Amino acid sequence: MLKKKEKYNVAIMGATGAVGTQFLWILEERGFPVDELRLLASERSKGKKLVFKGKEIPVQVLGKDSFGDIDIVLASAGGSRSREFLPAAVEAGCVCVDNSSAFRMDESVPLVVPEVNPGAIKSHRGIIANPNCSTIQMVLPLCAVNRLSPVKRVIVSTYQSVSGAGQQNILEMEAQVIRLSKKETHHGIGEHTVPSGMINRFPHQIAYNLIPQIDVFEENRYTKEEMKMVNETRKIMDIPGLAVSATCVRVPVYYAHSESVTLETEDKIDLDELRSALNEFPGIRLADDPAAMEYPMPIDAEGQDDVLVGRIREDLSSETGINMWVVADNLRKGAALNAIQIAEELIRG
Ligand code: NAP
Ligand code: 3JN
């Protein structure tokens, strides 16, 4: 359990990564009461320094002895590091908010989106899991709808930016884009592909392309990312039987994930009532004025805290169906911001 203090010693596991960097920025932005900040990463980052509140802090190599005197661990160094090191952190008395999938479906670990199920935090035994980015942004509007009429079925297609796959994947798309922009023409058939040597981390070229595969395939022909959306949504919403089907697609966008979400509810919901409920829901901002060509787009969500919702309309194929378009910054609300909001709830007690 976390003892009440004026300021807390915080460790960031994976501090040099795409999510880790956001942890530093958001802790500072929100004035989180940090006493010592300990930055942890791999051997590769030995000698690196990162800036927090104008001061350079050296990065330390992560080890099981990294957690002495630390109160809160924010972890984003991948699932295997969480599995290996978080038990040692708990043993050392820390409360850990884990961004990886390592403990999300563990029954004794709360899986939390503070606007949706903050009460779950209290049952933690040292680890609280942060959901997958695509799940987080979807469950906010889902929760708003569910309060009007129980949600029975969800069909979602995602359009996930390259930053979701980490810092090196951002660089891979950038290198491909630069290579193609140097060609005199790249609009003819076969002229917009890069040499296979430039495809290392994504399964295929990402520049000027879409890849309908995120993470590995499971036996049921869905990907792991798709099954995370199914299972995590059920756990956070506390609706074990909720029908959810997901298709996750990587798109050549740097930051912010977009989702086309179709829902079916028990009763028909009036669209005006739905729009007010979404508008009033914490963490959601409506961008839904077709006449003004206003709808959420990744370039608007980048760097923002809110989940943007628009294109709200009736599903013409179902009596109680609703369609919406949901966009959020995957590194902020989808990862670091949500984890810090959990930590804020923790210190509020
Ligand atoms: P990234 O940019 O590749 O960064 C990975 C971070 O982990 C780096 O700081 C890296 O340190 C560190 N790391 C890797 N191997 C390590 C090791 N053996 N020991 C210590 N540190 C190690 O990836 P990212 O996008 O920030 O994502 C990191 C993790 O966060 C993901 O694997 C995932 O579990 C989680 N994540 C969750 C969400 C979500 O949906 N909530 C979204 C994105 C990521 P070096 O720089 O020293 O290599
Ligand atoms: O690809 C994305 O857009 C989100 C990626 C999330 C991710 C990447 C590597 C490992 C995860 C995650 O959060 O589910 C993991 C993982 O911890 O399994």
Task: Flag whether 205 is in a domain.
Answer: no
With 80 as the cut, is the pLDDT of residue 86 above it? yes
23 and 139 within one domain: no
In a domain, 57, yes or no: yes
Interval 230-263: pLDDT, tens: 999 999 999 999 999 999 999 999 999 999 999 9
Q: List the structure tokens of 329.
A: 């910054």
Is residue 295 scored above 90 in pLDDT? yes
The predicted pLDDT at position 209 comes to 96
Within a domain: 70: yes
Work out how many domains the chain is built from and give that number: 2
Please indicate, yes or no, whether residues 71 and 33 belong to a single structural domain of this protein: yes
> Residue 108 falls within a domain, yes or no?
yes
Kindly give the number of the ligand 1 atom that is closest to the alpha carbon of 20. 26
CATH code, domain with 85: 3.40.50.720
With a CB cutoff of 8 Å and minimum separation 6, the contacts of 116 are 139, 140, 143, 236, 237
Instruction: Tell me which residue has its CA closest to atom 11 in ligand 2.
Output: 100
Ligand 1 surroundings by CB, under 6 angstroms: 14-20, 41-42, 44-45, 62, 76-79, 81, 99-100, 130, 132-133, 164, 166-168, 334-335
CA–CA distances in Å: residue 92 to residues 39, 62, 64, 65: 17, 14, 9, 9
C-alpha pair distances (Å), 258 with each of 16, 134, 274, 336: 25, 8, 20, 18
Same domain, 247 and 234: yes
Containing domain of residue 316, as a range?
135-161+210-330
Q: Is 135 in the pocket of ligand 2 (CB under 6 A)?
A: no
- Catalytic sites, residue numbers: 133, 257
**pLDDT at 16 (0 to 100):** 98
Q: Are 57 and 39 in contact (CB under 8 A)?
A: yes
CA separation, residue 197 to residues 172, 176, 326 (Å): 11, 10, 35
Judge whether 31 lies within some domain.
yes
Residue 181 counted as domain residue: no
Mean pLDDT on 171-179: 96
CA distance 249 to 301: 18
Residue 125 lies in a domain: yes
User: Angle at CA 255, nearest 5°, toward 251 and 257?
Assistant: 60
Residues 21 and 96 in one domain: yes
Other C-beta atoms within 10 Å of 195: how many? 9
Task: Give 182-234 pLDDT, tens digit per residue.
Answer: 876 666 777 789 999 999 999 999 999 999 999 999 999 999 999 999 999 99
Q: Determine the distance separating the centroid of ligand 1 and the alpha carbon of 17, expressed in angstroms.
A: 5
Q: Is residue 270 part of a domain?
A: yes
